[in-house]
Chains A and B, each alone.
Chain A
Amino acid sequence: MVSTSNNLLQDLLELTRENLNIVENLKTQSTDNLNWKENPESWSALECIEHLNKYGDFYIPEISNKISTSKHKSSEIFKSNWLGKYFSKSVSYNEDLNKMKTFKSMNPLNSKLNIQTLEKFINQQHQIIELLNKSKSVNLDKTKTAISISKLIKLRLGDTFRVLIYHNERHIKQAEKALVKASR
């Protein structure tokens, strides 16, 4: 994937705006519906969001830190590498959700959840918007961040954003599906 840095950031801002809006709307649902699950192993809407909050807790400080210490000036073009393509593709939403294994530390199953879970997610989205804006002044290729699942791999900042935000989209859609079933 090659695109101008500006276009990439604009697309990611728009996607974050949509993610934010869907979760704002979840606040109008009853707590019962938000906690409803199809079977003991599947996730409720709130568990989907809590899963994302756990990722946010890792990525937001990490990205923030790498942006503020980056010495690489912004460049016009962003080029994803194979690793970035691989990760962002594997976490993004598609119609027949490819099952993925959840890392134990990121598994929200049976956590105690309420409306605060949604507030936390909304707050994280505002932080992500702020980080997308700050990243306009650094290089999205050369600034690298750690990832949550392996200490050995670093991703380009542009790819880290893609992974984080596509992953948000994926599980928000999953939450919406859980709610449709809950209200049937």
Chain B
Amino acid sequence: MNPISNLIDRINNENLWDREIQLERNEYLKVKGSIDTNIYLVINGSLRIFVIDEYEDHTIRFGYKGNLIASLDSFLNEQPSDFYIQALKKTTIKSINKKKYISFIESSLENKKIWLTILENFVLQQMERERDILTSSPIARYNRVLKRSPQLFQEIPNKYIASYLRMTPETLSRIKKS
């Protein structure tokens, strides 16, 4: 079983979610500079995590139905984080605070193992992502991501996929056509 679904089932069984949050399209769950140590489960809808530099924003990750999302830096170090998290359409999420989450993870060896697997997978994904960014050809970048996450192209508007792929929306639509 997928470790994330397994973990979510266990949290559901113990009824640990703090609350359900509704976000309308374009609403922000988190803005730059705030501390947010919660972990969120996406019930439906989609979100993006991004940073804004002086001239533009850069999309870093997406979350959709069944995903866990967090400002992981803030979750780990409890410091302000530069990430923004924004809903891309009407979205429902559930949240669990760090304290409750950690005591849940530490309550059994099995939970600890699952969490470790999730973190390991996350490291692997980040390494893939690092290679995406270092790939200089836009077409090769597109193909890597298409192969890895075809679902992305069904769920997320082009403009944000283009930002994730570090290309203009025009370039992305040209590549898609060819």
Chain A residues engaging chain B, CB cutoff 8 angstroms: 6, 9-10, 13-14, 16-17, 20-21, 24-25, 27-28, 126, 129-130, 132-133, 136
Contact = CB atoms under 8 A, between A and B. Distances in A.
Nearest to A20: B28
Q: Mostly helix, strand, loop or mixed at chain A's interface?
A: helix
A54 to B, nearest CB: 23
Interface stretch (B7-15, B31-39, B128-136): B31-39
B32 A25 contact: no
Interface string B59-76: 000000000000000000
Given A6-B80, A24-B27, 13 more contacts: A17-B28, A20-B31, A21-B23, A21-B28, A24-B25, A27-B26, A28-B24, A28-B25, A130-B32, A133-B32, A133-B82, A136-B33, A136-B80
Contacts of B24: 21, 24-25, 28
Contacts of B35: 10
A131 to B, nearest CB: 10
Contacts of B32: 13, 129-130, 133
Contacts of B30: 17
B34 A14 contact: yes
Contacts of B34: 10, 13-14, 17
B31 A17 contact: yes
B53 to A, nearest CB: 11
Nearest to B31: A17
B123 interface: no
Interface centre among B24, B26, B34 (most CB of A within 10 A): B34
B27 A13 contact: no
15 contacts: A10-B34, A10-B80, A13-B31, A14-B34, A17-B28, A17-B31, A24-B27, A25-B24, A28-B24, A129-B32, A130-B32, A130-B52, A133-B32, A133-B33, A136-B80
A182 to B, nearest CB: 19
A6 B31 CA distance: 15
Nearest to A132: B33
A18 to B, nearest CB: 9
A126 B73 CA distance: 21
Contacts of B23: 21
Nearest to B23: A21
Contacts of B80: 6, 10, 133, 136
Nearest to B52: A126
Contacts of A27: 26
B27 A129 contact: no
A144 B31 CA distance: 25
